């Protein structure tokens, strides 16, 4: 028994020989017997099926339950034309007494239905055929009054393909005698159109539609013949025209499918998709959501250390509060786009802006840039923010990260729009700005116009930010009802201040050091007997010395997690478990000389270079070892041969007892062989630096001492 089926359910049947759709118009109380009708049959009436039969067909895949009803259009009563209502109401009045529930299932039986229909037809002065047509439409289209509405939407053939007869449709050709009458586009021709469009147009090659048409004519409508100088094509006059081809293309073309096929899904999502949402949907107040993004500025800079050095284009990171459009964080540098650049911008968002601007010689009041907070959430790219480096910030600072989908930078529309405005403001004034014709043939090389260093360019960006926050009018900003009532200007600083007072903002204050601590990369290091080991460097800290970490580590090593700034590894930081405290580690003396003031990249390069040297010398070491082994084996063989040639009558016991005497005798002989004998003549032509200095002195006590020692040795040898 299957009670999932219901009246008006549509069952689509599919087999190798047939395909049709039935509507269930009645089911008995025991869910055993049902009456169904083919919804597209022009002459059909309801007939019997069993519920188990339908259920078994659905389970085996011979039938499926349709979700979409082809006749199930929703029509509002006020939208129905009066003449259509009149036709519907007239038809319903005719069959109303037949279609009532009390007549089911008897009305579905032919022997019962026939006399009733004849009686109704006679009563309303119509034909049996008309009554049958009303009933059939009523049952096929869902058993409701609107099923009897006329199909005016199909009248006149609007949007409907016309049948292709022998007579040419459309405007006759002016020069039909020369060009032919043309052809009608029948189903076979449309099938060729579809194949050609799929083969040549829906590709990444970007073939124009005119060329697609020509390729189609070549493949399907031209005759290829062999001629003296290769192949030639012959065309019939009566072939589809480009106008016909273009008409059917535009009729069947799916804009989304076309764009994806020719430009790719990434381009469609970024440039062609419909924009139905908003970046500030569900944003409750300041700090509820920040957006962060980076761009490579279209300007070349010079070095602060040597203004003849062109150092390329800087990276600008900007963080914007979605609610108010206030720029809350900024970084201009040469890092990135990378986690290091994002780290700098996020740290700047929590930094006192009065102090920050003072570093660049810009004096501001606190109310000019009152942003030194961390938000509830951040929207970012999946690149630099999609890494384990962001995990401490999420855990310790309770900041939620939302990622834009790949190639969907438009989801960060607010910050993206700011970059466009920023470039527009900077371009007219900054030398070295890259224009659209950069690197085109004959264009000026803008790199040679570079005049500003990164410090000066940062000052320009800071001034642009101050203008944006305090003066820029947001013409496209949609104010909330409360903002309108309070007459709040669409300027970021005014929206920010209003949001702080009137909305449950999510802004939070945190120590700059704690923010930086949780933004810095983390690494699991090892406590060893030599110190806290990090990338072949060794550190110590106050706790390590007080608690004798390194003494304990000589028996067993263990690991700890540290935070570090990859730009300078003079210090490591051991964060507390909650991320709101830390202990500072310093380089031990054995690592200071080699690694002080070095960046992680510099240190890693040194370690990699030394590793390369070690690996490159492995062949040399191997050859040396082979030579060493050969020499040792030669000497051993020589010794074994000499020992084997010496015959001894001594027993093994006697040999072992004589080791002491043998050693003493050998020692005396070695002393005689190894004793020094100095010859004064050998020293006349060899002078050390010390001896040269002694010659320049009035007295030479060292030489006198050596002479005395030599005389004593000569005397002893003569005795």
pLDDT tens per residue across span 308-326: 888 888 888 888 988 888 9
213-219 average pLDDT score: 82
CA distance linking residue 699 with residue 710, whole number of Å: 19
User: Given this model, what pLDDT does residue 412 score?
Assistant: 46
User: Given this model, what pLDDT does residue 57 score?
Assistant: 87
User: Which of 201-205, 308-312, 426-430, 489-493 is modeled with the greatest confidence?
Assistant: 489-493
User: Given this model, what pLDDT does residue 526 score?
Assistant: 93
373-400 average pLDDT score: 73
User: Given this model, what pLDDT does residue 378 score?
Assistant: 85
User: Given this model, what pLDDT does residue 514 score?
Assistant: 85
Rounded to 10 degrees, the C-alpha dihedral 167/172/178/179 comes to: -80
680-705 average pLDDT score: 56
For the cut 60, the answer to whether the pLDDT of residue 159 exceeds it is: no
Q: Higher pLDDT residue, 270 or 262?
A: 262
Poorest-pLDDT segment among 233-247, 252-266, 361-375 = 252-266
User: Given this model, what pLDDT does residue 713 score?
Assistant: 58
Residue whose C-alpha is closest to residue 396's, from 293, 515, 503: 515
- What's the mean per-residue pLDDT of the chain? 78
User: Contacts from 52-57 at CB under 8 Å and sequence distance 24+?
Assistant: 52/1, 52/2, 54/2, 54/5, 54/11, 55/2, 55/5, 57/11, 57/13
User: Given this model, what pLDDT does residue 533 score?
Assistant: 92
User: Given this model, what pLDDT does residue 477 score?
Assistant: 85
User: Given this model, what pLDDT does residue 401 score?
Assistant: 79
For the cut 50, the answer to whether the pLDDT of residue 126 exceeds it is: yes
Instruction: Report pTM.
Output: 0.49
For the cut 90, the answer to whether the pLDDT of residue 520 exceeds it is: no
User: Given this model, what pLDDT does residue 131 score?
Assistant: 92
User: Given this model, what pLDDT does residue 80 score?
Assistant: 82
| CA 493 remoteness from chain centre | 33
Tokens of 27: 């089911």
User: Given this model, what pLDDT does residue 130 score?
Assistant: 92
CA distance linking residue 231 with residue 55, whole number of Å: 62
Q: Are 372 and 509 in contact (CB under 8 A)?
A: yes
User: Given this model, what pLDDT does residue 274 score?
Assistant: 46
State the residue for tokens 């263990």.
Answer: 558
Helix (H) or strand (E) holding 569: strand 568-575
CA distance linking residue 651 with residue 478, whole number of Å: 112
Poorest-pLDDT segment among 186-195, 516-525, 526-535, 676-685 = 676-685
51-100 pLDDT per residue, tens: 889 988 888 888 888 878 887 766 667 778 888 888 999 999 999 988 88
User: Given this model, what pLDDT does residue 47 score?
Assistant: 92
User: Given this model, what pLDDT does residue 133 score?
Assistant: 92
Q: How confident is the model at residue 127 (pLDDT cuts 50, 70, 90)?
A: very high
User: Given this model, what pLDDT does residue 92 score?
Assistant: 92
Poorest-pLDDT segment among 1-15, 103-117, 538-552, 588-602 = 1-15
Q: How confident is the model at residue 518 (pLDDT cuts 50, 70, 90)?
A: confident
User: Given this model, what pLDDT does residue 81 score?
Assistant: 85
Poorest-pLDDT segment among 261-275, 287-301, 641-655 = 261-275
Q: Are 357 and 366 in contact (CB under 8 A)?
A: no
CA distance linking residue 710 with residue 592, whole number of Å: 50
CA distance linking residue 350 with residue 45, whole number of Å: 76
Poorest-pLDDT segment among 34-38, 471-475, 528-532, 607-611 = 607-611
For the cut 90, the answer to whether the pLDDT of residue 493 exceeds it is: yes
Percent of the chain clearing pLDDT 90 (strictly above): 18
Q: How many residues does the chain have?
A: 719
User: Given this model, what pLDDT does residue 132 score?
Assistant: 92
Q: Higher pLDDT residue, 95 or 238?
A: 95
For the cut 60, the answer to whether the pLDDT of residue 227 exceeds it is: no
Percent of the chain clearing pLDDT 70 (strictly above): 74
User: Given this model, what pLDDT does residue 407 score?
Assistant: 43
For the cut 50, the answer to whether the pLDDT of residue 48 exceeds it is: yes
Poorest-pLDDT segment among 46-50, 469-473, 609-613 = 609-613
User: Given this model, what pLDDT does residue 560 score?
Assistant: 92
For the cut 70, the answer to whether the pLDDT of residue 653 exceeds it is: yes
133-153 average pLDDT score: 85
Residue whose C-alpha is closest to residue 28's, from 53, 49, 44: 49
Q: Are 422 and 316 in contact (CB under 8 A)?
A: yes
User: Given this model, what pLDDT does residue 489 score?
Assistant: 92
202 DSSP assignment: S
In sequence order, what are the beta bridge partners of 524? 561
CA–CA distance from 307 to each of 298, 303, 444, 450, 469 (Å)?
Answer: 19, 5, 20, 9, 32
113-135 average pLDDT score: 92
Q: Are 295 and 419 in contact (CB under 8 A)?
A: yes
Q: Are 562 and 522 in contact (CB under 8 A)?
A: yes
For the cut 80, the answer to whether the pLDDT of residue 253 exceeds it is: no
For the cut 60, the answer to whether the pLDDT of residue 255 exceeds it is: no
User: Given this model, what pLDDT does residue 689 score?
Assistant: 54
Backbone phi, psi, residue 615, to 5°: -70, -35
44 DSSP assignment: -
User: Which of 7-16, 26-35, 247-256, 538-547 is modeled with the greatest confidence?
Assistant: 538-547
162-166 average pLDDT score: 52
513-517 average pLDDT score: 85
């Amino acid at each position: 028994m299957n009670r999932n089926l219901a009246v008006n359910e549509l069952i689509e049947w599919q087999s190798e020989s047939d395909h049709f759709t039935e509507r269930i118009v009645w089911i008995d109380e025991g869910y055993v017997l049902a009456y169904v009708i083919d919804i597209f049959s022009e002459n059909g009436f309801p007939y019997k099926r069993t519920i188990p039969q339908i259920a078994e067909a659905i389970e085996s895949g011979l039938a499926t339950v349709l979700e979409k009803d082809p006749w199930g259009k929703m029509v509002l009563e006020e939208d129905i034309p009066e003449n259509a209502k009149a036709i519907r109401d007239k038809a319903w009045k005719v069959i109303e007494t037949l279609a009532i529930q009390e007549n089911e299932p008897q009305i579905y039986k032919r022997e019962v239905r026939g006399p009733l229909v004849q009686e109704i037809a006679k009563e309303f002065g119509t034909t049996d055929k008309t009554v049958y047509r009303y009933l059939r439409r009523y049952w096929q289209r869902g058993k409701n009054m609107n099923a009897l509405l006329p199909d005016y939407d199909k009248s006149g053939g609007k949007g409907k393909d016309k049948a292709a007869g022998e007579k040419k449709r459309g405007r006759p050709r002016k020069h039909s005698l020369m060009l032919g009458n043309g052809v009608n586009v029948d189903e076979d021709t449309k099938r060729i159109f579809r194949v050609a469009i799929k083969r040549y147009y829906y590709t990444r090659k970007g073939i124009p539609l005119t060329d697609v048409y020509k390729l189609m004519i070549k493949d399907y409508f031209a005759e290829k013949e062999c001629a003296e100088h290769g192949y030639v094509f012959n065309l019939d006059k009566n072939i589809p025209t480009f106008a016909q081809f273009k008409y059917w293309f535009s009729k069947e073309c799916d804009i989304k499918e076309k764009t994806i096929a020719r430009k790719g899904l990434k381009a469609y999502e970024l440039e062609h998709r419909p924009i139905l949402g908003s970046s500030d949907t569900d944003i409750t107040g300041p700090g509820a959501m920040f957006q962060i993004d980076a761009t490579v500025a279209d300007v070349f800079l010079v070095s602060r250390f040597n203004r003849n050095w062109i150092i390329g284009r800087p990276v600008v990171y900007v963080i914007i509060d979605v609610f108010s459009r206030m720029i809350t964080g900024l970084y201009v540098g040469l890092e990135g786009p990378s986690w290091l650049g994002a780290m700098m911008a996020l740290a700047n968002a929590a930094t006192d802006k009065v102090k920050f601007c003072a570093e660049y010689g810009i004096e501001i009041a606190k109310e000019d840039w009152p942003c030194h907070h961390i938000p509830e959430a951040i929207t970012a790219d999946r690149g630099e923010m999609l890494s384990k480096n962001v995990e401490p910030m999420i855990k310790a600072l309770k900041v939620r990260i939302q990622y834009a989908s790949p190639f969907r930078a438009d989801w960060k529309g607010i910050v993206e729009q700011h970059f466009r405005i920023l470039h527009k403001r900077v371009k007219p004034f900054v030398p070295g700005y890259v224009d659209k014709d950069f690197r085109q043939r004959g264009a000026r090389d803008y790199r040679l116009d570079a005049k500003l260093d990164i410090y000066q360019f940062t000052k320009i960006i800071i001034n642009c930010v101050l203008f944006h926050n305090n003066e820029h009018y947001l013409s496209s900003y949609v104010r909330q009802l409360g903002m309108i009532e309070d007459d709040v200007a669409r300027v970021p600083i005014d929206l920010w201040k209003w949001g702080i007072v009137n909305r449950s903002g999510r802004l939070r204050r945190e120590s700059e050091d704690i923010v930086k601590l949780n933004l810095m990369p983390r690494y699991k290091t090892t406590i060893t007997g030599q110190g806290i080991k990090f990338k072949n460097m060794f550190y110590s800290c106050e706790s390590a010395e007080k608690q004798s970490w390194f003494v304990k580590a000589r028996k067993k090593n263990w690991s700890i997690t540290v935070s570090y700034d990859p730009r300078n590894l003079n210090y490591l930081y051991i964060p507390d478990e909650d991320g709101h405290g830390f202990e500072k580690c310093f380089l031990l003396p054995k690592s200071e000389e080699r690694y002080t003031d070095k960046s992680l990249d510099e240190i890693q390069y040194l370690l990699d270079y030394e590793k390369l040297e070690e690996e490159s010398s492995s062949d040399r070491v191997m050859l040396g070892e082979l030579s060493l082994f050969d020499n040792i084996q030669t000497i051993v063989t020589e010794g074994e041969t000499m020992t084997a040639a010496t015959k001894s009558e001594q027993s093994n016991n006697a040999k072992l007892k004589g080791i002491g005497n043998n050693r003493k005798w050998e020692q005396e002989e070695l002393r005689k062989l190894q004793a020094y004998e100095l010859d004064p003549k050998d020293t006349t032509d060899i002078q050390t630096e010390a001896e040269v200095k002694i010659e320049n002195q009035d007295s030479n006590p060292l030489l006198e001492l050596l002479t005395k020692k030599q005389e004593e040795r000569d005397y002893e040898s003569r005795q």
